[in-house]
């Protein structure tokens, strides 16, 4: 999930920190969930569809940035096809 999110928003420092944290937790066999909602909102592109970087990502795929539904649809389709 973090790899996909970083492909959408490579400059998201919160997301990079979360990825590092999750790797550390998993290495110790610890759960990586739950996550505070504020952290999820700052790192999940599906919850950040209106962030400028995510909108730009959607626009670069010719989905049009005016429609939230088009952006979410583009994110879902890309996630379905994503291979890390």
Could you tell me the pTM of the whole model? 0.86
**Helices assigned H by DSSP within 1-84:** 2-8, 13-27, 37-43, 52-60, 68-81
Domain range for 23? 2-81
pLDDT score of 61: 74
Q: How many domains is the chain partitioned into structurally?
A: 1
**Cα gap 68→80, rounded to integer Å:** 18
- Which percentage of the chain shows pLDDT scores above 90? 76
**Cα gap 67→69, rounded to integer Å:** 5
Tell me the two tokens of residue 57.
């990502």
Phi and psi dihedrals of 64, rounded to 5?
80, 135
Residues of the chain with pLDDT under 70: 62-66
């Amino acid at each position: 999930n973090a790899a996909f999110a970083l492909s959408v928003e490579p400059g998201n420092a919160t997301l990079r920190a979360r990825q590092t944290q999750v790797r550390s937790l998993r290495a110790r066999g610890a759960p990586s969930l739950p996550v505070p909602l504020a952290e999820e909102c700052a790192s999940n592109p599906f919850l950040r569809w209106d962030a400028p970087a995510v909108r730009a990502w959607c626009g670069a795929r010719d989905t049009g940035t005016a429609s939230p539904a088009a952006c979410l649809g583009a994110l879902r389709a890309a996630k379905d096809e994503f291979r890390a």
